[in-house]
Amino acid sequence: MIFGIIGWVAVGLIVGFIARKMTDLHGDDPRLGIAIAAGGAVIAGLLYSLVTWSPVTAWNFWSILFATLGGIAGVLIWHQVRSRYVSRSSYPTRRSY
């Protein structure tokens, strides 16, 4: 059981690292995206186990796949929510004082 959860966290960390490299964080801490992906992977893995009534095993392909999808979904949702509060406009330059 514990190895399945560790596998979900590992998948989430990998997904978060890849998402960090692919997206513009707009000043966010890069570790936050990795942590959110790991959390999304664990939540998705647990939901998969609850819905399918399958036990948490060390290397269940489907639970790892759903953990990957959960990590991706967590990062995408976080960046969509975060992008609403971050300005993308460039700062105007001052011509005179």
**What pLDDT digit, counting tens, does each position of 41-97 carry?**
888 888 888 888 877 776 778 888 888 888 888 888 887 887 776 656 665 666 666
Report how many domains make up the chain. 1
pLDDT above 70 (res 21): yes
Entry pTM: 0.74
Within 10 angstroms of residue 79's Cβ, the number of other Cβ atoms is 18
Range of the domain at 77: 2-20+32-81
In a domain, 95, yes or no: no
In a domain, 66, yes or no: yes
Q: CA-to-CA distance for 19 and 21, rounded, in angstroms?
A: 5
In a domain, 86, yes or no: no
Q: CA-to-CA distance for 41 and 36, rounded, in angstroms?
A: 9
Q: CA-to-CA distance for 85 and 83, rounded, in angstroms?
A: 5
pLDDT above 80 (res 24): no
Kindly state the tokens that stand for 9.
């966290």
